[in-house]
Structure 1
Amino acid sequence: MARSRDPAAPAAAAAGSTTQRIVESITTAIVERRLMPGTKLAEQKIADIFKVSRTVVRQALNQLSRDKLITLHPGRGAFVARPSVEEARQVFEVRNMIETAMVRRLAASITPQQVAQLRDHLRREQAAVQRTDVPGRTRLLAEFHVVLARLLGNEVLAEMLRDLVSRSSLISLMYQSAHSAEHSSDEHVAIVDALERGDARAAVRLMESHLHHVEHNLRLDPRVPDLEAALTALE
C-alpha cells in the first residue's frame, strides 16, 4: 500500500531552505564586513528583501542568535552582536586548541590532491589581496581554516570552525587594528608548505603563530585615553 504524502512537507522544506538562505546571507555580510557590530536587523525589512513572512525571518534570527552572531533584545529587536573583550579572548583560545590539533592530524594524512586544493585556494586568496578586494579577501582568508577542517572529512568539525571563524570576523570588526591581509595570506602559504612536507611540528607551530598574530592585531587592551595627551598630540 502506497504511503500517503504529507501535503505540508514541501512547504516546510521550502521554509527551512529560505531560513537557511537568510542565515547564510547575514553571516556572509558579517564575515565580509558589510554589516557592522550593533547594526539593527529590522524583521520587516529583511522579510521584504527575501519576500518571506516575518515568521521565517524570526526563525533565521533565532538561529543566528544561537550562533552568537546577533543579539535579540525584547521590545527592541535584533542587532549584530558586539562581542566583549573576554569573549574575543575565549574564541581565539578555543580556535588555537582546535586548529593546532587539526593541522597535526592533517599533516599525517594529507594527499597530493588535497594539497592541490589548498594551493588553489591560496591562489584565489592572493589574487583578492592584490586587487584590494576587501570582501573577497576577508571571506577567503576565513574560509581557509574551514577548508582545512573539511579535508579531514569531519563535517561537525567544519561546522564548528565555520561558527568560530564567523565570530572571529565579528570580533575583528570591533577590535582589529591596521592589519595586513597579505601577511595573513603568506602565513597560510607557510602552513600549507609544512602540511605538504608532512611536518606536523612545523604546521602546529605555524598555526599557533598565525592565530597569535591575528589576535595580537586586535586592540583587546584599549587604554583609557589621557585627555592632555589626546589634546596635545598634534602640537
Structure 2
Amino acid sequence: MLLSEQAGRSAAAKIPRPATLRESVIEAIQELIVSGQLKPGQHLVESELAEMLGVSRQPVREALQQLSGEGWVDLHPGQGAFVHVPTVQEADQLLAVRALLETESARLAAKHAGKDGVRRLRELCQGGIAAVEDDDVETAVALNSELHALVTALSGNSVLAELASQVARRVRWYHTPVARQRGMASWVEHSQLIDAIEAGDDNRAAKIMREHTEHTRASYMEQRENEPVEPAPKPVRRRRPRTPYAR
C-alpha cells in the first residue's frame, strides 16, 4: 500500500518542528506588550528591539510586519512602528466574547472537572492569593491566565478550548493594567467559582464566571476612562523639494 493511501486512512503523528527565529521574536515582542514593558502607543525602534532580544534587525522587521497584520503593532509610513492602542470598542467586543466562552467553560467544567481538576484549580488559586499578598502583579496575572485556561480545558470541549486560547493572550494584555486594581477580589471570585465546580453546580459556576468576567471588563473600561492612552502620531507628509527650472 502506498504511503499516500495509508495517510488518507489514518492521520499520522505530526513531527514537531522547532520555532523559527522570526516566530521566537514575534513571541518575545508579544510578551513584552502583554506584560506592559512595551506600552500602548510606544515607538518601536528596530535597532533597540534587536539589541534587547539579541538578534539582527531582519527578524525584528519581519516580526513587526506580522504583528501589524495581527493587530499588535501599527505601522505608520514615515514614522515607524508603534504598539497598537486598542480602541475602547475593540476591547469591549473581545472581553464580551471572552465572557461568552468562559461562562460556558465554567458550566461544563462543573460537570466534568473531577477531583484532580478541582485540586489543580485550588493550587493555582492559592498561588494567586499569595502573589497578590506579595504585590507580585506579574505572577498573579500569569496564574490568572493559567486558572482560566484550566477551567476551559476541564470543560471537555476541545473546540471551546481552541476558541478561548485564540483570545487568551489579548485578554491577558487587557487584564494586566487592572490586575492590581482587581486585587484580592478577583481571587475571592475564583475561589467561589472552584467551590461551585467542585459541587457540580453548573448554573452557579456559569453565573459566577459571567459576573467575574464582567468585573474585569468594567475595571478595564474604568481604567481607560481615567487614564486615556494617546494614539501614535499620524504620519507627516513631506513635500518634495521643487526642482529649479533650467534657465
User: What CA distance in whole angstroms lies between the structure 1 residues aligned with 2:50 and 2:138?
Assistant: 24
Q: Compute the displacement of 1:155 (Å).
A: 6.4
- 2:236 aligned residue: none
Amino acid at match of 1:80: V
- 2:238 aligned residue: none
User: What CA distance in whole angstroms lies between the structure 2 residues aligned with 1:159 and 1:57?
Assistant: 28
User: What CA distance in whole angstroms lies between the structure 2 residues aligned with 1:193 and 1:67?
Assistant: 37
- 1:84 aligned residue: 87
Query: Any conservation in 2 of the 1:121–1:144 contact (CA below 8 Å)?
Result: yes
Q: Compute the displacement of 1:95 (Å).
A: 0.8
Matched, 1:73 2:72: no
- 1:217 aligned residue: 219
Amino acid at match of 1:199: D
- 2:190 aligned residue: 188
User: What CA distance in whole angstroms lies between the structure 2 residues aligned with 1:180 and 1:192?
Assistant: 18
Query: Any conservation in 2 of the 1:83–1:170 contact (CA below 8 Å)?
Result: no
Residues 63, 189 of structure 1: CA spacing in aligned structure 2 closer, same or farther, 3 A cutoff?
Answer: farther
Residue of 21, 43, 47 corresponding to 2:46? 43
Q: Compute the displacement of 1:219 (Å).
A: 3.4
Output aligned runs, 1:87-98, within 5 Å: 87-98=90-101
Whichever of the two has the greater Rg, that structure is 2
User: What CA distance in whole angstroms lies between the structure 1 residues aligned with 2:54 and 2:180?
Assistant: 39
Output aligned runs, 1:154-169, within 5 Å: 157-158=160-161, 160-169=163-172
User: What CA distance in whole angstroms lies between the structure 1 residues aligned with 2:126 and 2:23?
Assistant: 29
TM-score by length of 2: 0.73
Contiguous gaps of at least 5 residues in structure 2: 1-16, 227-247
- 2:12 aligned residue: none
Query: Any conservation in 2 of the 1:32–1:136 contact (CA below 8 Å)?
Result: no
Output aligned runs, 1:1-235, within 5 Å: 16-152=19-155, 157-158=160-161, 160-172=163-175, 176=178, 179-219=181-221, 222=225
Residues 122, 218 of structure 1: CA spacing in aligned structure 2 closer, same or farther, 3 A cutoff?
Answer: same
TM-score by length of 1: 0.76
Which string of whole-angstrom CA distances, capped at 9 and with x for unpartnered residues, describes residues 58-105 of structure 1?
333344334422223233332221111111210111111111111122
Q: How many residues align?
A: 209
Q: Compute the displacement of 1:202 (Å).
A: 0.4
Which string of whole-angstrom CA distances, capped at 9 and with x for unpartnered residues, describes residues 146-188 of structure 1?
22223346666545434423323434567x5972221111111
Contiguous gaps of at least 5 residues in structure 1: 1-12, 224-235
Q: Compute the displacement of 1:208 (Å).
A: 0.7
Residues 81, 162 of structure 1: CA spacing in aligned structure 2 closer, same or farther, 3 A cutoff?
Answer: farther
User: What CA distance in whole angstroms lies between the structure 1 residues aligned with 2:70 and 2:193?
Assistant: 28
Identity %: 33
Query: Is the deviation greater in 56-65 or in 214-223?
Result: 214-223
CA RMSD of aligned residues (A): 2.7
User: What CA distance in whole angstroms lies between the structure 1 residues aligned with 2:202 and 2:155?
Assistant: 14
